[in-house]
Amino acid sequence: MDLGNPVLKLCQDGMRAEAEGRPAAARALFQQAWAARGDDYDACVAAHYLARQQDDPAEVLRWNEEALRHADGVGDDRVAAFYPSLYVGVAMAHERLGNRAAARAAYENAAGRGSALPADSYGEQLRVAVAEGLRRLS
């Protein structure tokens, strides 16, 4: 992460607050990041983290779709590894809302972008989430 970018710094601080069990502080930091966004990349990252802080699955869906829209606007590889996570977020929200067909389509989109995931525990966690989601919906 480029911590010279104030939006990314706010998101990192928000992730730290999440890890420390301070969800209200995390949400406030992610909202600050959203307010400070300067381009589609910043907006994609901030919306991605705001989605994680929502209790209502409709809001989780809305923020993940917002992140996807901005990811599409970036136009380079900086967001390639975000797509699987964004699609998993969309899929899980659709599942919680009872939209099985839309959830399955989102998991399939995540699977189709899986090659961009790193070969680490984060990438493996997302691969498992995709496989389990597809299995639940088959």
Q: What is the pLDDT of residues 46-87, one digit of tens each?
A: 999 999 999 999 999 999 999 999 999 998 999 998 899 999
Contact predicate 40/71, CB 8 Å: yes
CATH class of the domain whose range is 40-137: mainly alpha
Query: Does the pTM exceed 0.85?
Result: yes
pLDDT at 117 over 70: yes
Neighbours of 36 (CB within 10 A): 14
Going by C-alpha positions, the residue among 76, 99, 91 that lies closest to residue 132 is 91
Residues across the chain:
138
